[in-house]
A and B are shown apart, each in its own frame.
Chain A
Amino acid sequence: MKMGFLRDTIIILQKDLRQYYLKPPTLSWGFITPIAIVAMLVLAASYNWRIISGVIALAMMWSSTTMSQVAMGIERKARSIEKLLYTPINLASLVTAKVLSGLIFGFIGAGIASVIASVLTPIHVIHVLPLIIAIILGSIVFSLIGSIIALLASIENSMVVMNILRFTMMFLSGIFIPVFMLPWFLQPVSYVLPLTYVVELMRYSFYGIYDVVNPVTSIVALIIILIFYTVYLWLLLSGRTMEKIIFG
């Protein structure tokens, strides 16, 4: 059963990678946009290298949310999700594959951003483990968010919703303005955004410092957020909501 789950997940993952990596929305929102932001910010950040780590986290968030969102959204729109569900695979395999495709795209986004940053700035990794944990946990969480939004809204609407969330995270996660310097009423919002913890972990990995949350707390917070979104996605898939999502 577990082997079957893994095998089915890999088949769907391979299909998604072939089918969606070069789709225009994936390339524009998941690749060109984050890389352009990274390049621009790295060049503009000569006065403050501290933001570079946050910018790498931002690129990763942008890439992984886009891929899972495009893969799920197009599959729903093209009705091929119905075709797949008529095969013996279970829904969990299908969604796991979407989340994994977002994870891989998140790795690519973070990788490219890191290369740009390392070429154009003198930053280097001090703590490897927190960086790896940040990339893995962050990519999964962002990919889960992309999948959930793509399940709940049409592909056109999900882009709008996702962009609102992306820009909220971009400005409230401590990349440009440290969380403790935000107005008091915005600070609680920062603490529920997963990007805040990824940024803190990356800052620790590159500079050995953090703003408001220590690395262990950041990892725990990311795990809690991951569990929350996984449970939420599971509830979506196991209830009648899923029937509505797929068949309207």
Chain B
Amino acid sequence: MSPAILVVDNIYKSYGKTVAVRDLSFTLGKGEILALLGPNGAGKTTTIRIIGGVLRPDKGRIIINGKDMTDKASLRKRIMGIMTEEPSLFPDLPVKDSLNILCRLYSIDKNICNDQIKELSNYFNVASFLPRKYAKLSMGLKRIFDYISSIIHDPEIILLDEPFNAIDVERKNLIKKNIIELSREGKAIIITSHNIPETMDLSNKVIILKNGEKVLETTPSELMTKYPIEEQIIITTKKPIDPRTRTALEREGFKVVSRHGVVAYYRRSRDLPELLSRAEDILSSNGNGIDSIRMAGTPWDKIFIRIYRKPVK
């Protein structure tokens, strides 16, 4: 296990009678990617804000590299990069100027900053938007620049609050690729998201929050083993399914749900090609064939719904 760069020790935060985060503890090592998941109001953003140093916990400690930094927010901000939940660069300035201002606040040399801006904007194919005012950009581009602004100063700890919101698939994949690269460089990364499958692909640690409390801390693989939920695929046939085909399909474990509809279950993605091949064989040997295939939700969503529905002890 990598040495802990960040230790969140028993933090508690309330607003009047509402408890936003209750006695949350976890550690994060170099190169680790933690998915901090939970429904709206679970306490994800409050946790990010406490770690990021803009909210003070009512109790608990934030330890970085073995040192208690709870009361040293401005010191720990130097080694952290935070992507806020909502677009937050300066709306009326060109994006490049906004990034330069942030560099100055992090005391980064102007030439190094310009090199970073150039490199990152080329990486995400957004260099042509640098002279544009942030307010004039699409939501997706704003989020890309929010992401760039959170890593421009080469932080050791990166906190990403809903980083994939409103970003197109191509750039989303670039962000995922970049997150993995940063993790390989030893950066510790926390991602909060509503999109569970996306974060599970990336993370090697998962914490699930509910009403401000940690209900589960695990790894994606442990989670899959603990909650073996089958994935579902819906196959539509070209012709109506006759009784003989129905019997053959059911003998192989398929479930015929309508005249043209067959449902199949599998647990591992790698089983899917073989499953489809079997369905195709049975259908074609009976003069039928596959017309379309549709995924019926992901197992991650189902797992999380099961966990969320459990009452908190």
Q: What is the interface of chain A, defined by CB distance below 8 A to chain B? A: 8, 11, 15, 18-20, 23, 74, 78-80, 82-90, 243-244, 246-247
Contact = CB atoms under 8 A, between A and B. Distances in A.
Interface in B77-123: 77-78, 80, 82, 84, 86-93, 97, 101-102, 104-107
Nearest to B53: A86
B186 to A, nearest CB: 21
Given A86-B52, A86-B84, A19 B102 contact: no
Interface of B: 15, 49, 52-56, 74-75, 77-78, 80, 82, 84, 86-93, 97, 101-102, 104-107, 149
B101 A85 contact: no
A93 to B, nearest CB: 9
Nearest to B79: A88
B155 to A, nearest CB: 10
Nearest to B90: A80
A36 B14 CA distance: 49
Contacts of B149: 83
14 contacts: A8-B105, A15-B93, A15-B101, A19-B93, A20-B92, A78-B88, A79-B86, A80-B88, A86-B77, A87-B77, A87-B105, A88-B105, A90-B74, A247-B49
Contacts of A86: 52-54, 77, 80, 82, 84
Contacts of B105: 8, 11, 84, 87-89
Contact of B74 (A82, A88, A244): A88
Nearest to B80: A86
Given A15-B93, A78-B90, A80-B89, A87 B84 contact: no
Contacts of B101: 11, 15
Contact of A19 (B54, B88, B92, B104): B92
A84 B52 CA distance: 12
B104 A83 contact: no
Minimum-distance CB pairs A-B, first 10: A83-B88, A87-B105, A79-B88, A86-B82, A88-B77, A85-B54, A19-B92, A88-B74, A78-B91, A88-B78
Contacts of A83: 84, 88-89, 102, 149
A246 B92 contact: no
B53 to A, nearest CB: 7
Contacts of B88: 78-80, 82-83
B152 to A, nearest CB: 11
B87 A79 contact: yes
Contacts of A84: 105
Contacts of B84: 79, 82-83, 86
Contacts of B102: 83, 87
Given A86-B80, A86-B82, A246 B87 contact: no
A195 B54 CA distance: 36
A18 B96 CA distance: 14
B158 to A, nearest CB: 12
A23 B84 CA distance: 25
Contact of B55 (A18, A89, A243): A243
B243 to A, nearest CB: 62
Contacts of B87: 79
Contacts of A244: 15
Contacts of A82: 54, 84, 88
Contacts of A18: 93, 97
Nearest to A8: B105
Contacts of A87: 77, 102, 105-106
